[in-house]
Amino acid sequence: MSTDTSTTHTTPSFTPIPRPARRTFGKWFATTGWRHLIGVALCIYSAFPLLYVLSASLNPNGTLLSSNGFFSTVGLQSYVDLFQNEQRPFAAWFANTLFIGLTTAAASVFLGALAAYSFSRMRFTGRRVGLVSLLVVQIFPQLLAVVAIFILLTSLGDVFPALGIDNQIALIMVYLGGALGVNTYLMYGFFNTIPVEIDEAAKIDGAGHARIFFTMILRLVAPILAVVGLLSFISSTSDFVLASVVLVSPENQTLAVGLYSYVSEEFTSNWSVFAAGAVLAALPVMALFLYLQKYIVGGLTAGAGK
């Protein structure tokens, strides 16, 4: 805004005659120019911290203090160190996060689609109650029951070690408990947009309910499956509360828990290595996000938050 007034003040004293030129700049500035100023400020605000991490990660053996020199030194040593630290197995964290995220995403898409199909295509007693109770259950996030989940898994683990504390299958099952509430509603709306006539035509041709569902409906609703899968992948990979409570030993942990321990235990000295880890952890998610941007934005406006 201040630039606006300064240009209008200085230009007249310079050139009294070429008024049109001044007016076009003024006009340009008044219509779109100031928008670019805001745009540049916006870009700095949003992109700067990301550039900062990138520069810190390329600063070999950097501490928090020495990372302040922006791209002053460039080297990949931190990335090498990241993978050689045995107490903090980054590669294992990465693999665990992918495993947990992908399994949770696939399974919750499947469970959600099954439920949405029955709510959308079938009429049965208890349907309305079911839909309303899904809405009500959503109000209470699983996060709040973390203590009960911890104690439940502890006692389950006494009987079945595979379902106890420090086991990834147990964590995935916990995530799946939250899957139905969140996803079914998103999917239910989309399922309703697919004409019922398609089902009916297939039924007349002799297709059973399972075939209609697996071979036709699932393909027609692919976009919402992608959105729900991605949202559930992102939410399960960025979860810290449940993952930190369930996964105890370093080789079982996820990126969120592991990278937090990096920072909380040796905050300033290991900064560059942490930054390298952060860059590698963020890149796939960001790439996926930007690639699928259009789908996600549509899904987000349908009711998800960050």
Partner 1 sequence: MTKTAPEAPPRHSDDPKRKLSPAAQRFANASSTSLGPILIKIILIAIVDATAVFALFTAIGREAWAIATVIAAITVLINVVYFKKGWLPAKYLLPGTIFLLIFQVFVIGYTGYIAFTNYGSGHNSDKADAISSLLQSNQERVEGSPGYPVKLYNGDDGLAMLIERDGQQLIGDENTALSALEPASLDGYTELNFADLLGRQQEVTSLKVAVSDNPADGTLRTSDGRTAYQYTSSLKYDEAADTMTDQDTGLVYKDTGVGAFTAEDGSQLMPGWSINVGFDNFTRAFTDSSIRGALFSVSIWTFAFAFLSVASTFFLGLFLAIVFNDMRMKGRKIYRVISILPYAFPAFLGGLVWAGMLNKDFGFVNQVLFGGANIPWLTDPWLAKFSVLWVNLWLGFPYMFLVCTGALQSIPQELSEAATIDGAKPFQIFRLIKLPLLLVSVAPLLISSFAFNFNNFNVIYMLTEGGPRLEDAGLNVGATDILISMVYKVAFVGSQRDYGLASAFSIIIFVIVAIISIISFKQTKALEELN
192-230: b or e for each residue (b if 16 or more CB lie within 10 Å)? eeeeeeebeebeeeeeeeeebbeebbeeebeebbbbbbb
Complex with partner 1: residue 89 or 258, whichever CB lies closer: 258
Residues 174-193 interacting with partner 1 (rule: CB under 8 A):
174, 176-181, 184
Helices (H) and strands (E) in the chain, counts: 17, 0
The verdict on 158 binding partner 1 (CB under 8 A) reads: yes
Contacting partner 1 (CB under 8 A), which of 35, 72, 169, 248?
35
Residues 254-293 interacting with partner 1 (rule: CB under 8 A):
256, 259-260, 263-264, 267-268, 271, 274-275, 278, 281-282, 285-286, 289-290, 293
Residues 197-216 interacting with partner 1 (rule: CB under 8 A):
198, 201-202, 205, 207-211, 213, 215-216
How far apart are the C-alpha atoms of 144 and 142, rounded to whole Å?
5
The verdict on 115 binding partner 1 (CB under 8 A) reads: yes
Contacting partner 1 (CB under 8 A), which of 58, 59, 60, 67?
67
The verdict on 52 binding partner 1 (CB under 8 A) reads: yes
The verdict on 195 binding partner 1 (CB under 8 A) reads: no
58-94: b or e for each residue (b if 16 or more CB lie within 10 Å)? bbbebebebbeeeeeeeeebbbebbeeeeebbbeebb
The verdict on 23 binding partner 1 (CB under 8 A) reads: no
Please give the full DSSP string across 261-281, using - where no structure is assigned: HHHHHSTTTTHHHHHHHHHHH
> 290: which residues sit within 8 A by CB, 6+ positions away?
none
Looking up tokens 């036709």, which residue turns up? Answer: 216
Per-residue contact string for residues 217-256; x = within reach of partner 1 by CB under 8 A: --x--------------x--xx-xx--xx----------x
- Length of the chain as a residue count: 306
| Contact present, 228 and 299 (Cβ < 8 Å) | yes
Contacting partner 1 (CB under 8 A), which of 30, 43, 91, 248?
43
State in angstroms the smallest separation of the CB of 11 from partner 1: 22
State in angstroms the smallest separation of the CB of 8 from partner 1: 20
The verdict on 160 binding partner 1 (CB under 8 A) reads: yes
CB atoms within 10 A of CB 57: 24
The verdict on 299 binding partner 1 (CB under 8 A) reads: no
The verdict on 25 binding partner 1 (CB under 8 A) reads: no
DSSP conformation class of 68: G
Contacting partner 1 (CB under 8 A), which of 1, 13, 49, 86?
49
